Amino acid sequence: MDKILILDFGSQTTQLIGRRIRDLGVYTEIIPGDSPLSSEALATQTGDPVRGIILSGSPESVYTPEGAVPDQGVYTCGLPLLGICYGLQRMTYDNGGLVEALHQREYGGMEVTVKGEAGTGEGTMGNGELIRKFLAGFDPAVPLRDLTNPPLFYPPVPFSHSFTAWMSHGDTLTRLAPGFREYGASAAGFPAVVAHESKPWFGLQFHPEVTHTERGREILAAFVFGVCGGKPGWTMERYIEEVRAALTERVGRNPVLLLISGGVDSTVAGALLLKTLDAGQVHLMYMDTGLMRKDETKTVTAALERLGARHLHIIHCEEEFLSALKGLSDPEAKRKAIGDLFITIQEREVSRLGLSEPYFLAQGTLYTDLIESGKGVGKKAHVIKSHHNVGSPLVDAKRRAGHIIEPLDRLYKDEVRRLGRLLGVDEEVVRRHPFPGPGLAVRILGEVTREKCDILRDADALYIEELKKRRSPSGERLYDEIWQAFAVLLPIRSVGVAGDVRKYGWVLSLRAIVSADGMTADVYPFPIKDLLEISTLITNTVKDIGRVTYDISSKPPATIEWE
């Protein structure tokens, strides 16, 4: 299966490059920016042929010591290269061009004009056809289907096209490296699209992987199919076959224990195990912490039973969690108490199960989890979400013994959803919004009590139910347009009236955001009519809530959760 490698220099959008190209059907792998890249290293990297390499963006500059430097073999391996932002600056700097700081950063949507003159690529040293194939990605006259299945020959037709591209850079190219030529510039006059005249090397100063860039998908397709000659081979059906074969071989007849959280990832991992191994081998353990959403335990149990689960161990530990949280109001103290108790209960319950050794421990780890916890990127990269991955002595011991299985570790979230559908996981579970490990405890600000959990559960369930009933102007359920929605119980009460009586009720905040994968998020522009009606419904139904607000903060600077 053809593969595109992405050298990760630490940009927050590197994963998006991988996702966009996989959506086009070509397999991608993200590797640390300083990985060995000699022809031999590439040949042994995996069995799959690498068709091209993308050099990602980075928060660093080529002049800061923190900026990862690629193995210089990248320039001699002969493969097509695409430098994006820092990746382009890196290629320029490493090959004798000049990169300098801008007086003012170019940030956000910027106009870029690309020109393919009559005879584009003619007169270049043998690279004309490849350059035309690349520039076709920018030409509004060329549809995506022609880019994913490019003709052998593109006539040199002149075109000039201005479009909006998403940029975020403080340095620019002030002199191209020898052999490069500029085909597009930003409105401020800086090089935005360049190509080498004799080598299959291309560069973009903007981010085609970000949806705000017009024709971003087309530009990536032009590189992957036109320049690299990539063939689509990445399908979920194929992934299932590969993972099943690998799982059967690795696990044999031994037992497997999967810790289920109720979220999409662990449920789909459970489905994959149940559809691959004998159901008698598969043990699923789920902790009901009392900090779950309304009816969560019932929904999860039903979904897993429908998938054929035979050993489903539900641990009811609400009392333990509530007493561990008693008197705690500091967010970090709450998270720590929950993390510690998770581990204690996990150890106790697993040993109570008494699975015969060696047994395997399965986790629903995704590709993004590996990257975010620092395994996929270079040692200097910026690690953003390590706090979400609570270590556990059991997981560590199993990893040391080589008894961990992570069957989703090559997948992105949307691919997990596709896989779940193929495996027959309930549509409602597949579409479910993400839910944090510490559950409602981080959505009840201040001290957590059972009473507050019940109030929040009721209000949240009403909110979510309404989002599932209501449609947006485009006809989609509001729930499906929103990436994550939930209610938060604030630690304040305010005065209101109910009938003629003054009432002192809790304040609830509603959150709804759109996002690619939770790293950044925009506020969902809620239709005001729906917001008003949902607010009325909540204050009329949940008697302890006196006032409802809507959180209009994006991430950054706010986070998605409140604690």
**Cα–Cα distance measured from residue 87 to residue 83, given in angstroms and rounded to the nearest whole number:** 4
Q: Which of residues 150, 203, 208, 436 is near ligand XMP by CB under 6 A?
A: 436
Contact residues for 532 (Cβ-Cβ < 8 A; gap 6+): none
In whole angstroms, the minimum distance from the beta carbon of 470 to ligand XMP comes to 22
85 belongs to the catalytic site: yes
DSSP code at position 542: S
DSSP β-bridge partners for residue 557: none
196 belongs to the catalytic site: no
Query: Using an 8 Å Cβ cutoff, are 179 and 185 in contact?
Result: no
Between residues 106 and 372, which has the closer beta carbon with respect to ligand XMP?
Answer: 372
| Active-site hit among 207, 283, 403, 433 | 207
- Of 51-59, 200-208, 321-329, 434-442, the window that binds ligand XMP (rule: CB under 6 A) is 434-442
Q: Work out whether 388 is an interface residue with ligand XMP (CB under 6 A).
A: yes
Query: Using an 8 Å Cβ cutoff, are 398 and 355 in contact?
Result: no
- Of 27-35, 155-163, 433-441, 528-536, the window that binds ligand XMP (rule: CB under 6 A) is 433-441
Between residues 127 and 299, which has the closer beta carbon with respect to ligand XMP?
Answer: 299
Nearest 5°: phi and psi at 488? -125, 135
φ/ψ bin of 308: left (φ > 0), alpha (ψ from -120 to 50), beta (otherwise)? left
Query: Using an 8 Å Cβ cutoff, are 180 and 99 in contact?
Result: no
Nearest 5°: phi and psi at 472? -85, 170
In whole angstroms, the minimum distance from the beta carbon of 173 to ligand XMP comes to 34
Element at 428 (helix H, strand E): helix 427-430
Between residues 129 and 561, which has the closer beta carbon with respect to ligand XMP?
Answer: 561
Between residues 313 and 555, which has the closer beta carbon with respect to ligand XMP?
Answer: 555
Contact residues for 79 (Cβ-Cβ < 8 A; gap 6+): 42, 50, 51, 52, 53, 200, 228
Q: Work out whether 18 is an interface residue with ligand XMP (CB under 6 A).
A: no
- Of 69-77, 357-365, 407-415, 552-560, the window that binds ligand XMP (rule: CB under 6 A) is 552-560
Q: Which of residues 39, 540, 541, 559 is near ligand XMP by CB under 6 A?
A: 559
Between residues 115 and 555, which has the closer beta carbon with respect to ligand XMP?
Answer: 555
In whole angstroms, the minimum distance from the beta carbon of 269 to ligand XMP comes to 14
Taken in order 384, 210, 5, 419, is the CA torsion positive or negative? positive
Q: Work out whether 555 is an interface residue with ligand XMP (CB under 6 A).
A: yes
Between residues 323 and 559, which has the closer beta carbon with respect to ligand XMP?
Answer: 559
Distance of alpha carbon 488 from its chain centroid, rounded?
24
Residues 478-497 close enough to bind ligand XMP by CB under 6 A? 484
Q: Which of residues 33, 420, 518, 546 is near ligand XMP by CB under 6 A?
A: 518
In whole angstroms, the minimum distance from the beta carbon of 542 to ligand XMP comes to 22
Between residues 415 and 563, which has the closer beta carbon with respect to ligand XMP?
Answer: 563
Between residues 207 and 443, which has the closer beta carbon with respect to ligand XMP?
Answer: 443
Element at 320 (helix H, strand E): helix 318-325
Contacts with ligand XMP: how many residues (CB under 6 A)? 11
Element at 347 (helix H, strand E): helix 331-353
Burial of 540 (0-12, 13-18, 19+ CB in 10 A): exposed
Q: Work out whether 52 is an interface residue with ligand XMP (CB under 6 A).
A: no
> Given the structure tokens 């923190």, which residue do they identify?
66
3-state secondary structure of 79: coil
CB atoms within 10 A of CB 139: 21
77 belongs to the catalytic site: no
Q: Work out whether 439 is an interface residue with ligand XMP (CB under 6 A).
A: no
- Of 219-227, 345-353, 435-443, 454-462, the window that binds ligand XMP (rule: CB under 6 A) is 435-443
Residue 105's nearest CA partner among 188, 213, 202, 193 is 188
| Active-site hit among 85, 228, 317, 453 | 85
Question: Which residues in this chain contact ligand XMP in the complex, by CB under 6 A?
Answer: 388, 434, 436-438, 484, 518, 555, 559-561
Active site residues: 85, 207, 209
